[in-house]
A and B are shown apart, each in its own frame.
Chain A
């Protein structure tokens, strides 16, 4: 029972971690809580259903399930990145020099807009993602781990490793770290700030798309309001680990997933959604910088 819940928690946690990375990267660079990020995740799930359905109609799925899955992933990553890019250009870029609250309110506006946009075009009912692997999986010691759970955990780990290498080793990653530290200095040494911000949004959205698509495969059901609650939880995960830190987002996501799955089965399932908020408030009270980051003094 405990081990089973651990596996469920790690699965859920890797999804939160993927979404949390997007929050963390954007916050690190723009100091903005990208409220619309949860909606990108929701869009990713919807794109998954739409494109997989489209490929099935075309007959690609009959030819090879894996080919059509790969194509679905690629297409929804592309579209989600395009959405993330566009949102930044429309809703955040004009507000870059305004007060702190304006971009946040604008982000809430984007989030409401996207939710209703999807509801109006796709309908308010649940959408179904075809169950590809069934309930097949491994069994050992009466614990079950389905193939989808394994898939989610492996993909998340691979993505996080690649992201870490990308940020640490490549020139763009170096530029991103520079912009996060000091925008003015970074632009003085010849980094194009706008490009770096756009790249950040594109990468974050791509991660959210993968998370959304994997959740659609895992649960099989998608609705237009899943983005809001997942977004808040992922944000909690990012804060838990220390916002702006990549490693923190990963650990925070896993911790949150574990707490939710263990708390949901041992304390009370009804309050499952409240744990994230309680953790968030406690963390902000006790260690506002998160687990992996020293508390910083506010710059004057």
Chain B
């Protein structure tokens, strides 16, 4: 009996695999799968082939181990000091990865406002990122406006875009909303790709200048590193304050139960609007920095996969928890860099990882318990 079930499962999956690589590969796959299942079986009783072991691994990440460590104030000081001195010890490559992580941390924190705090799924977040990047790129290359004067503009513009997208959002439920935002992201990308006279289409815009502070031009990676550290600190500070404020609490109430929230007098429509605009605001910041750092933007950087990647960062760490989101963003930038050899399988693993995460820990690695009680 204990052999029959794994055998049937492996034969089934081997059959599904058969047309793609032929008989030999399917047989090989069958044997590997059978052995793995049997191994799991003998280790953990056959009834819970997957559920138990994975649950135990995930339980390791439960509050009691990691949270006190993270929350200890000394650790934070040590971490901060370490971040400040890192550029003196490491190679350019490491700095590059660190800068990339910082950009994604800002993006993920922005999306976290929409997905984590307000519980609205936004699958077109990359559109705001693109608008921010292209606003700076165009202002700079066409009008010669510097980074610091263009930054408020591009952040304002993305915020307005967030408002505009939120207007349909006000009337839609979760999954419809997801599709509309996805459509918005695709429309923005198609416009950037096809409006040749303004955006130079798929060729992208190059020759964007880097930031200048008091006649000091940013040109080395170290400069960008410190700039980004500064912006990440600001982002964390502000999102944290907003999260604890009246607005933040209203968002959480809407996330947990929209109808209940509206019965206690929260204007759900208004607060959803705020969430979209506030999230987009940070994407504008990240986009401008991205354009300034790369000195080049093209529609290729703003595909749907990018939106999914940012969403994964938010969900992996634990949507709603700021430290969780930072960990998630950092992990998802770092892992592909560490696993360069198996890069082909990166997206495969990402897809499978999303499914597994949703089944076993829908609130992410560091995600907290639900604020409400389900009856």
- A143 to B359: give the CA distance in the assembly, Å: 53
- A32 to B179: give the CA distance in the assembly, Å: 12
User: From residue 79 to 122 of chain A, which have CB atoms closer than 8 A to chain B?
Assistant: 79, 82-83, 86, 90-91, 94-95, 98-106, 108-118, 120-122
Instruction: List the one stretch of A14-22, A162-170, A247-255, A275-283 in contact with chain B.
Output: A275-283
Given A277-B186, A288-B176, A298-B173, are A109 and B16 also a contact pair (CB < 8 Å)?
no
Q: What residues of chain A lie closer than 8 Å to B186, measured between beta carbons?
A: 232, 273-274, 277
A281 & B19 in contact (Cβ 8 Å cutoff) = no
Q: Taking the complex as formed, is B96 at the interface, i.e. its CB lies under 8 A from any CB of chain A?
A: no
Partner pick for A113 among B123, B190, B355, CB 8 A cutoff: B355
A113 & B121 in contact (Cβ 8 Å cutoff) = no
Q: Taking the complex as formed, is A51 at the interface, i.e. its CB lies under 8 A from any CB of chain B?
A: yes
Q: What residues of chain B lie closer than 8 Å to A116, measured between beta carbons?
A: 345, 347-348, 351
Instruction: Annotate B131-144 by CB proximity to A: 1 below 8 A, 0 otherwise.
Output: 00000000000000
User: From residue 36 to 66 of chain A, which have CB atoms closer than 8 A to chain B?
Assistant: 47, 50-51
Task: Give the size range of B's interface with the partner.
Answer: 35 or more
Q: Which residue of chain A lies nearest to B177 when distances are taken between CB atoms in the complex? A: A284
Q: Taking the complex as formed, is A138 at the interface, i.e. its CB lies under 8 A from any CB of chain B?
A: no
Q: What residues of chain A lie closer than 8 Å to B347, measured between beta carbons?
A: 112, 115-116
* Min CB gap B356→A, angstroms: 8
- A104 to B311: give the CA distance in the assembly, Å: 12
B348 & A113 in contact (Cβ 8 Å cutoff) = yes
* Min CB gap A287→B, angstroms: 11
- A110 to B123: give the CA distance in the assembly, Å: 16
Q: What residues of chain B lie closer than 8 Å to A118, measured between beta carbons?
A: 20
Instruction: Annotate B174-192 by CB proximity to A: 1 below 8 A, 0 otherwise.
Output: 1110111011101100110
A288 & B172 in contact (Cβ 8 Å cutoff) = yes
Q: What residues of chain A lie closer than 8 Å to B183, measured between beta carbons?
A: 232, 276-278, 280-281
Q: Which residue of chain B lies nearest to A113 when distances are taken between CB atoms in the complex? A: B351
Tell me whether chain A's interface is mostly helix, strand or loop, or mixed.
helix
Q: Which residue of chain A lies nearest to B17 when distances are taken between CB atoms in the complex? A: A121
Q: What residues of chain B lie closer than 8 Å to A188, measured between beta carbons?
A: none
A33 & B175 in contact (Cβ 8 Å cutoff) = yes
Instruction: Annotate B9-23 by CB proximity to A: 1 below 8 A, 0 otherwise.
Output: 000110110011100
- A79 to B26: give the CA distance in the assembly, Å: 15
Instruction: Annotate B147-170 by CB proximity to A: 1 below 8 A, 0 otherwise.
Output: 000000000000000000000100
B308 & A112 in contact (Cβ 8 Å cutoff) = yes
Instruction: Annotate A116-159 by CB proximity to B: 1 below 8 A, 0 otherwise.
Output: 11101110000000000000000000000000000000000000
- A90 to B49: give the CA distance in the assembly, Å: 13
Partner pick for A284 among B123, B176, B305, B348, CB 8 A cutoff: B176
Given A273-B186, A300-B259, are A104 and B21 also a contact pair (CB < 8 Å)?
no
- A115 to B345: give the CA distance in the assembly, Å: 11
Given A101-B121, A105-B315, A232-B183, are A94 and B359 also a contact pair (CB < 8 Å)?
yes
* Min CB gap B292→A, angstroms: 29
Task: Give the size range of A's interface with the partner.
Answer: 35 or more
Q: What residues of chain A lie closer than 8 Å to B21, measured between beta carbons?
A: 121
- A104 to B89: give the CA distance in the assembly, Å: 43
B175 & A100 in contact (Cβ 8 Å cutoff) = yes
A33 & B179 in contact (Cβ 8 Å cutoff) = yes
Q: What residues of chain B lie closer than 8 Å to A47, measured between beta carbons?
A: 19
Q: Taking the complex as formed, is A182 at the interface, i.e. its CB lies under 8 A from any CB of chain B?
A: no
Q: What residues of chain A lie closer than 8 Å to B207, measured between beta carbons?
A: none
Q: What residues of chain B lie closer than 8 Å to A106, measured between beta carbons?
A: 354-355, 358-359
Q: Which residue of chain B lies nearest to A101 when distances are taken between CB atoms in the complex? A: B121
* Min CB gap A285→B, angstroms: 5
A271 & B121 in contact (Cβ 8 Å cutoff) = no
- A32 to B174: give the CA distance in the assembly, Å: 10
Q: What residues of chain B lie closer than 8 Å to A108, measured between beta carbons?
A: 123, 308, 311, 351, 354
* 29 A-B contacts (beta carbon < 8 Å): A31-B175, A47-B19, A79-B16, A86-B12, A94-B359, A99-B362, A101-B174, A101-B178, A102-B358, A104-B174, A106-B358, A109-B351, A110-B351, A115-B347, A120-B344, A120-B345, A121-B21, A232-B182, A271-B190, A271-B194, A273-B190, A274-B187, A277-B187, A278-B187, A280-B179, A281-B183, A284-B171, A284-B180, A298-B173
Taking beta carbons and an 8 Å cutoff, which residues of B are in contact with A?
A: 12-13, 15-16, 19-21, 119, 121, 123, 168, 171-176, 178-180, 182-184, 186-187, 190-191, 194, 259, 304-305, 308, 311, 315, 344-345, 347-348, 350-355, 358-359, 362
